Amino acid sequence: MKILVCITNVPDTTAKITFIDNDTKLNKAGVQFIIGPYDDYALARAVELKEKLGGSVTVLHVGGADADPQIRKALAIGADDAIRVDSDPIDSYFVASQIAHVAGQNNYDLILMGRESIDFNSGVVHGLVGEMLGIPSYSPVMKLEIEGTTATLAREIDGGKETLSASLPLVLGCQEPISEWKIPNMRGIMTARTKPLLVVEPVSVEEFTVPENFSLPAPKGACKMIPADQAETLIKLLRTEAKVI
Amino acid sequence: MSVLIFVELDNGSVKKTSLEAVAYGAEVAKMTGTTATVLALGKADISSLEQAGAFGASKVLHASDDKLTHENSLAYADVLAQAVKQEDSKIIILAKSGLGDAVAARASAKLKAGIVSGVTELPVINGGFTVKRSIFTGKAFSNVEIKSDIKILVVKKNAIEAIESSEKATVETFSPVLRDQDFQASVGTIEKASSELSLTEADIIVSGGRGMKGPENWQPLLDLAKALGAATGCSKPVSDLDWRPHHEHIGQTGIKVAPNLYIACGISGAIQHLAGVNGSKYIVVINKDPEAPFFKAADYGIVGDVFDILPKLTKAVEDLK
Ligand SMILES: Cc1cc2nc3c(=O)[nH]c(=O)nc-3n(C[C@H](O)[C@H](O)[C@H](O)COP(=O)(O)OP(=O)(O)OC[C@H]3O[C@@H](n4cnc5c(N)ncnc54)[C@H](O)[C@@H]3O)c2cc1C
Ligand SMILES: Nc1ncnc2c1ncn2[C@@H]1O[C@H](COP(=O)(O)O)[C@@H](O)[C@H]1O
C-alpha cells in the first residue's frame, strides 16, 4: 500500500488574521503555523493503514521552506518520507497540478487529503487532482477501510451519510472521525530528523487566478442584552427589529 | 454564451441554496448581456425546475437519466462539461456544498477553467473579472481576479438577495453521453434523516453546547426549534460525546452555516465554533456566564440558565401565531 498524504501549512485555528503591505500579504508575525486539522486526520489514518497493511506513507506539501517544521512533524507522526514542491501555492488549480505531477511519477494506491484547507476553505484540490489523474475522488470521508484493492468508505452527504466501495487508486478528502489526531512521540521526533525530505521545483502551470488584496469583515456592533426575566422580549425584537422570524 | 448554473436536487426539487445560485447566475448574465441556463440532473419534479425561471433563468437543461439521480460528482462534472460545450458557456455557477465543490473541481480540470470557491458577492466586471471570496473560515476575505477564458464560481449562501418573480423557465431535455467509468463505485447504505431540515439550507438554527448538560435535556431546545421551524445544530464536544449526531456539529471542523438567525444555547463561543457561524445574519446567545466569549460575536444576548429561558422563548414564539 503506497499512500500519499497532502498537507497544508496554515495558521493555528485560534490565530488572529491580519494583513500587511497594503492588504496584499498575510501578517505572519506572532502567528503559529500548524498542519491543517483535516490533513492531520488524513495523515493519522494513513499511518494506521500502513501499520496494518504494510507499505509506505509519503507526505507532500506545495509551499515554501517555512513549512519544513510541519513536514518534519508529519514525519515524526509516522510518514516515511516527504516531498516539498518549492513554490508559493498560487491557487487551487496550481496546487492540484503540482500534486498530480508528483503523483503521476509514483504509483500511489491512495492519495489522502483534508476535506478542506483552513486558509482557503476551497474543498476542491482533491476533485481537481482526481480529474487530472483520471481517478475517482470522494469527500468528505469519515471512515475508510481497505481490503485488497477495494476501499470501503463512509462519506458525509447533506443531512446524513452514505457508504460506498470503490477500487483503488482513489483520492479522498478526509474529516473526523476517520481517525484521531496523533501526537509525535520522542522516538518519532528523533527518527524524523533523518528521514528524506526531497525539495523539487514546480512544473509550470497557466495562471488562472490572481489575488488582488485581502480584507477583514466589518466589526460587529454591540450585543443587545436582554434581562433573563424578560426573555420573551427577545422574540419581539427578532420579529420587529431584526425581522428574521 | 449563456451563464450556466448547476443545481442540486433534493427529492426531485431544486434546493433552496441552488435557487439562490440561480438568482446569482441570472444577475451575472444580466451584467454580461446574456441569459442564464440551469442544468439539473436525475429524477426531477418538472414544476420545480420551471421555478428556476422565478429566479431569473430562461432555460433549464434536464438530463433525466435515472442513473444521475444518485449524487455522483464524477458523472455530474462530465455532464456539466458537456453542457458547457453545448451552450458555449464562459461562466459557470454552483452553490457551495460538498457536492458543489466536488463537481466544480472536476469540471475545472476538464475544462481548464479557473475556479474560485466561497464567493460572497457579485463579481466586479470592468475589463477584468474580480470576485470576493471568504477565506480563513470566515475570518477574512480576498479579492481574486479570474483570468481564464472559462470561469467557475462556487457561491456561498447569502451572496445575493434572491427575489422571486412569477416567471417560468422552459425545460429542455438534455441527453449527455454517460461514461461507465463514472459509475464504478457501488453504493452501500444511505442514512438520511429525510424529515429533518438540512443545516445548510435552514433560515434559522437553534444550536446547543455542553451547557445543555446531557442528551436527555435536548427537548426544550427541540421545542424551540420546532416552534420556529428551525434546524438544530451543536458544538463539537456535544457530537464527540454522542449527545447529538455528527452531521449536526458546527464549526471549523464541522459544518459551516449561514442562516438568518443562529441561536446558541450553552455554547461558550470558542473561536473554532465561531468559524462555522460567522456567516449568520443575526446571532442570539444564551449563556449563564456573562463573560462567555460568544457574547462578543452576538447581536442579542441573554445571561441566564438555558433551561429557564428556552421554554419562555418557545411560549413567546407560539403566542405570536
Ligand atoms: C483544531 C480544533 C478544531 C475545533 N473545531 C471545533 C468545531 O468545529 N466546532 C466546535 O464547536 N468546537 C470545535 N473545537 C472545540 C472548541 O475549541 C471548544 O472546545 C468547543 O466549541 C466548546 O464547546 P461548548 O461551547 O459546547 O462547551 P464549553 O466550552 O464547555 O461551554 C459550555 C458553555 O455553556 C455554558 N453553560 C453551562 N451551563 C449552562 C446553563 N445551564 N445555561 C446556560 N449556559 C450554560 C457555560 O457558561 C459555557 O460557556 C475545536 C478545537 C480544536 C482544537
Ligand atoms: N499547498 C498545498 N500543499 C499540499 N496539499 C494541499 C495544499 N493545498 C491544499 N492541499 C490539500 O488539499 C486539501 C483541500 O484543500 P482546499 O481545496 O484548498 O480546501 C487540503 O486539505 C490538503 O490536503
DSSP per-residue letters across B17-52? HHHHHHHHHHHHHHHTT--EEEEEESS--HHHHHGG
Tell which B residues from 54 to 73 touch A, by Cβ distance under 8 Å: 71, 73
Residue with cell string 405570536: B320
Among partner residues A38, A177, A226, which is closest to B302 by beta-carbon distance? Answer: A226
Question: How many separate domains does chain A show?
Answer: 1
**pTM to 2 decimals?**
0.91
Whether A131 and B130 lie within 8 Å, measured CB to CB: no
Domain hosting residue B239, numbered range: 204-320
Residue A128 inside a domain? The answer is yes
Residue B188 inside a domain? The answer is no
Residue B199 inside a domain? The answer is no
B162 with B228, same domain?
A: no
Domain hosting residue A163, numbered range: 2-217
The DSSP bridge partners found for residue B37 are B4, B59
What ipTM did this prediction achieve? 0.92
Whether B141 and A217 lie within 8 Å, measured CB to CB: yes
For B165-177, the pLDDT digits (tens) are 999 999 999 999 9
B35 with B74, same domain?
A: yes
Taking the Cβ of residue B192 and every Cβ of chain A, the question of whether any pair is shorter than 8 Å is answered with yes
Which ligand is located closest to the Cα atom of residue B211? Answer: 1
Tell how far the Cα of A113 is from the centroid of ligand 2, in angstroms.
7
B179 with B220, same domain?
A: no
Residue with cell string 427589529: A241
Whether A131 and B142 lie within 8 Å, measured CB to CB: no
B213: its cell numbers: 448538560
Sign of CA dihedral A184, A188, A193, A196: negative
B96 with B132, same domain?
A: yes
Specify whether the CB–CB gap between A36 and A118 falls below 8 A: yes
B35 with B128, same domain?
A: yes
Bin A189: left if φ > 0, else alpha if -120 < ψ < 50, else beta: alpha
Ordered per-residue pLDDT tens for chain A, 245 residues: 999 999 999 999 889 999 999 999 999 999 999 999 999 999 999 999 999 999 999 999 999 999 999 999 999 999 999 999 999 998 999 999 999 999 999 999 999 999 999 998 899 999 999 999 999 999 999 999 999 999 999 998 877 889 999 999 999 999 988 998 999 999 999 999 999 999 999 999 999 999 999 999 988 889 999 999 999 999 999 999 999 99
Question: How many separate domains does chain B show?
Answer: 2
Residue with cell string 498524504: A5
Give the residue ranges of DSSP H helices in B187-305: 219-228, 236-240, 271-274
Residue B228 inside a domain? The answer is yes
Specify whether the CB–CB gap between B136 and A10 falls below 8 A: no
Calpha distance A177→A53 (Å, rounded)? 20
List the CATH number of the domain containing A66: 3.40.50.620
Taking the Cβ of residue A223 and every Cβ of chain B, the question of whether any pair is shorter than 8 Å is answered with yes
CA angle A79, A85, A91 (to 5 degrees): 115
pLDDT (0 to 100) of residue B233: 96
For B208-245, the pLDDT digits (tens) are 999 999 999 999 999 999 999 999 999 999 999 999 98
Residue A120 inside a domain? The answer is yes
Residue B107 inside a domain? The answer is yes
Residue A233 inside a domain? The answer is no
Tell how far the Cα of A40 is from the centroid of ligand 2, in angstroms.
12
Residue with cell string 462539461: B81
